[in-house]
Amino acid sequence: MSKAAGGAPRLLHCHSTFSAGGKEVRCARLMNAWGPRLHHTIVSAEPASMAAAALIGPDVAVEYPSGFPSLKGTPTPGRLAGLARAMQGYDLICTYNWGAMDAVMAHRLFARAFGLPPLVHHEDGFNEDEAVHLKPSRNLYRRAGLGTAARVIVPSTGLERIAREVWHQPAARVTRIANGIDTAAFAAPPDPAMLPLAKPPGTRWIGTLAGLRAVKRLPNLVEACAALPPDWHLVICGEGPERAAILDAAHAHGMAERLHLPGNVDPARVVGLFDIFALSSASEQFPLSVVEAMAAGLPVAAPAVGDIATIVDDANRAYITPPADTPALAAAIATLAADSDLRARLGAANQTRARTEFDIAAMLARYEAAYAGAMGREF
């Protein structure tokens, strides 16, 4: 898919993973919107996790170098210097989450010596190991590493507070940009052919989009749906290491015949097949999946983590439950499942809010301004 980009600015993206999760989907959508105006190089701390590459359009100049130094390892001076050398020759370095923090530290230590370009760091949330409490050692490492960052971009108010108060980043360096989507694409009719399973007449779906990771607490979502009537099924779209644990939970709760794991999907062509959208995560910040569900006209049941309670329409907030409270989440889902008129009202209200507040145009303009400002040039 790589194309010559002529004089287009060259961006290096250092990702914790490039699986098809929220930050990766957002990155791919931004790249598609900018098209050939930029040239992109993508590396991942998890080289086998590159599913989001399939979302990048054919007119985007992008490459995936095989010889780039690993983003993981002991942060010795020699290893960090090697990372810094590999970051030469670009116009902007974009780093994402804790898994790319060694690249941030390499920039901090060697930017002047190697003439490195400006760096913009993106933080979108935390894995299971920091879902409840941030690790002090990581806070110190972030605080030190981010000293030469031109910008720290976060999507949520919670992360904005952490960046300023815990990582001690100056207010002028921290930029909050709410995640946005192409709301019109999600309002279009879904395509049943995009799933490897059919939705029989009379069947209703609780659906979610999530990486199958421990922090998403998907076995809890299985438990929360177990008491629903037999015409309600649970569809979990995504891939990841927790697949076996989710299947085990389905067997334990009598959900084996009503659980479907179709893998990664194109959200815009699938979400509209759901009747209710649900999350069970221990940690979120500004999940794209919630906005996608809203744009498709769905009600949302989810724990009150990150900014979820402020993302959904006011009328939907009664179904945003206390964190880590599976019975409360089950009750919210059951109430929505029992009332089709309620689902329709909440879905319509959420769709209006998504169109008004979270369309991709505003997000795109803010990212372009942040990147152009960091580079000191328009694109």
Provide the pLDDT for residue 5: 47
Overall average pLDDT of the 268-288 stretch = 95
Per-chain mean pLDDT for the chain: 95
Provide the pLDDT for residue 6: 56
Q: CA 40, CA 11: separation in Å to the nearest integer?
A: 5
3-state class of 269 per DSSP?
helix
**Tokens standing for residue 86:** 């590999």
pTM: 0.76
Does the structure show a pLDDT above 70 at 1?
Answer: no
Overall average pLDDT of the 30-44 stretch = 97
- 131 — pLDDT class (breaks 50, 70, 90): low
The predicted-structure confidence for 73-109, as pLDDT tens digits, reads as follows: 999 999 999 999 999 999 999 999 999 999 999 999 9
**Tokens standing for residue 346:** 């909440």
Q: Among residues 124, 119, 59, which one has the least CA distance to residue 283? A: 124
Q: What angle do CA 217, 218, 223 make, to 5 degrees?
A: 105
Per residue, the 3-state secondary structure of 191-233, as one string, reads: CHHHCCCCCCCCCEEEEEECCCCHHHCHHHHHHHHCCCCCCEE
3-state class of 370 per DSSP?
helix
Upper half-sphere CA count for residue 67 (Cβ side, 13 Å): 2
Q: Among residues 307, 303, 334, 337, which one has the least CA distance to residue 320? A: 303
- 2 — pLDDT class (breaks 50, 70, 90): very low
Does the structure show a pLDDT above 90 at 348?
Answer: yes
* Distant-in-sequence contacts of 139-144, Cβ < 8 A, 24+ apart: 139/166, 139/167, 141/101, 141/105, 142/98, 142/101, 142/104, 142/167, 143/167, 143/168, 143/169, 144/105, 144/108
Q: Which helix (H) or strand (E) holds 139?
A: helix 136-145
pLDDT over 90 percentage in the chain:
92
Domains of the chain listed by start with CATH number: 10-180+360-375 (3.40.50.2000), 183-357 (3.40.50.2000)
The predicted-structure confidence for 165-212, as pLDDT tens digits, reads as follows: 999 999 999 999 999 999 999 999 999 999 999 999 999 999 999 999
- 20 — pLDDT class (breaks 50, 70, 90): confident
Between the alpha carbon of residue 30 and those of residues 26, 122, 211, the distances in Å are: 6, 14, 20
Does the structure show a pLDDT above 90 at 303?
Answer: yes
Does the structure show a pLDDT above 80 at 316?
Answer: yes
| Runs of H (alpha helix) within 226-284 | 243-252, 267-270
